[in-house]
């Protein structure tokens, strides 16, 4: 990597927030990089700009909704919708209602993930959808309860959002809200007793029987899929500012595409950021400058949808007969 230490390139690429997705193998800039893998921000193929989808996961009462609210408040000039995973809870049958204290609301099977996927698919394609509404008191679902219109940004929020790979694949950015277990439990007791009118013994029973185990078995293992981990949730305003800044940059690129319909913006990857860092550095050797500039130019000129170079086939006949 020429005269660059790993930490220099890491510093150039990292944005300050705890960023687990940044790994050394991604800095293998001279390794093979397929142009086919590079997405663009242009949504021209289907005539609309695909929304920027943010997934916010984390334990119950970790502060997910509060973090979402802070992001929305800061993105005040954008069209943002929040879709919560709890809207997709299966309603309980009469039999299940009788044994409601034995029902595990923290297990992945408690959610109708296929319905969530079909709603998200429509929203991603610019169609309005009816999102069901779940009642925490009756444990029943009301279908078609909330009409959600397509937006620039969709925030998906819920405890188990990173569990299913099909849901993860919908997301442009994955955030995990990481709050200590004792803080989560304290908040849960306060919320469930005061706001939901539940009995404290039932809240503690549910916690020790299902919530704690499900967190360890299903939620915590999905932390590794996050692009950004926010320690202390909504108290971490630095992390939230940086996230909003990143979303604004992405949306700005979409806006450019709206103004210039033939513009394709290749999405930044760590490789691309690393190469930019190198070619901008005055200390870069001529050899490295040529190597990385050449790689960058190739990415632009070879991109499968960018037919900026037209090719014609010519048949040349030489006087010698060849």
163 backbone dihedrals φ, ψ, rounded to 5°: -75, -45
Residues ≥6 apart with Cβ < 8 Å to 216:
none
Instruction: Give me the residues paired with residue 140 across strands.
Output: 135
- Binding of ligand LLZGTKA7 by 4 (CB under 6 A): no
**Smallest separation (angstroms) from ligand LLZGTKA7 to the CB of 188:** 7
Binder among 60, 81, 123, 247 for ligand LLZGTKA7 (CB under 6 A) = 60
- Binding of ligand ADP by 236 (CB under 6 A): no
Nearest to 246 by CA among 173, 310, 142, 151: 173
Distance (Å, whole) CA 111 – CA 182: 26
Q: Which is nearer to ligand LLZGTKA7, 16 or 221 (CB)?
A: 221
Q: For the segment 189-228, give every residue that binds ligand ADP (CB under 6 A).
A: 191
Binder among 41, 42, 49, 62 for ligand ADP (CB under 6 A) = 62
Q: What is the 3-state secondary structure (H, E, C) of 247-267?
A: HHHHHHHHHHHHHCCCCCCEC
**First-to-last C-alpha distance (Å) of the chain:** 46
Identify what 211 binds: ligand ADP, ligand LLZGTKA7, none; CB under 5 to 8 Å per kind.
ligand LLZGTKA7
- Binding of ligand ADP by 122 (CB under 6 A): no
Strand pairing of 140-148 and 129-135? antiparallel
- Binding of ligand ADP by 132 (CB under 6 A): no
**Smallest separation (angstroms) from ligand ADP to the CB of 232:** 7
Which residues in this chain contact ligand LLZGTKA7 in the complex, by CB under 6 A?
Answer: 60-61, 64, 86, 89, 105-106, 136, 139, 159, 211
């Amino acid at each position: 990597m020429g005269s660059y230490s790993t930490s220099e390139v890491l510093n150039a690429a990292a944005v300050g927030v705890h960023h687990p997705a940044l790994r050394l193998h991604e800095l293998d800039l001279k390794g093979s990089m397929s142009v086919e893998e590079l997405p663009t921000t242009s949504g021209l193929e289907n005539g609309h700009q695909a929304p920027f989808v943010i997934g916010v996961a984390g334990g119950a009462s970790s502060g997910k909704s509060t973090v979402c609210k802070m992001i929305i408040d800061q993105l005040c000039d954008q069209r943002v919708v929040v879709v919560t995973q709890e809207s997709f809870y299966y309603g309980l049958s009469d039999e299940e209602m009788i044994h409601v204290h034995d029902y595990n609301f923290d297990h992945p099977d408690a959610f109708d993930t296929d319905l969530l996927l079909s709603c998200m698919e429509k929203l991603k394609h610019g169609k309005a959808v009816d999102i069901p509404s779940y009642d925490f008191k009756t444990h029943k679902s009301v279908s078609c309860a909330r009409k959600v219109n397509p937006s620039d940004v969709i925030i998906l929020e819920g405890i188990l959002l990173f569990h299913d790979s099909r849901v993860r694949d919908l997301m442009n950015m994955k955030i995990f809200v990481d709050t200590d277990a004792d803080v989560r439990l304290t908040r849960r007791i306060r919320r469930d007793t005061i706001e939901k009118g539940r009995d404290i013994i039932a809240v503690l029973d549910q916690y020790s029987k299902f919530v704690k185990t499900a967190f360890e078995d299903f939620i915590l293992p999905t932390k590794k899929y996050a692009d950004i981990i926010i320690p202390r949730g909504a108290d971490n305003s630095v992390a939230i500012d940086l996230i909003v800044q990143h979303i604004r940059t992405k949306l700005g690129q979409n806006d450019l595409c709206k103004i210039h319909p033939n513009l394709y913006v290749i999405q930044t990857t760590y490789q691309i950021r690393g190469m930019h860092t190198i070619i901008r550095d005055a200390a870069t050797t001529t050899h490295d400058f040529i190597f990385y500039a050449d790689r960058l130019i190739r990415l632009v000129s070879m991109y499968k949808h960018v037919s900026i170079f037209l090719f014609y086939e010519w048949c040349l006949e030489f006087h010698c007969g060849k």
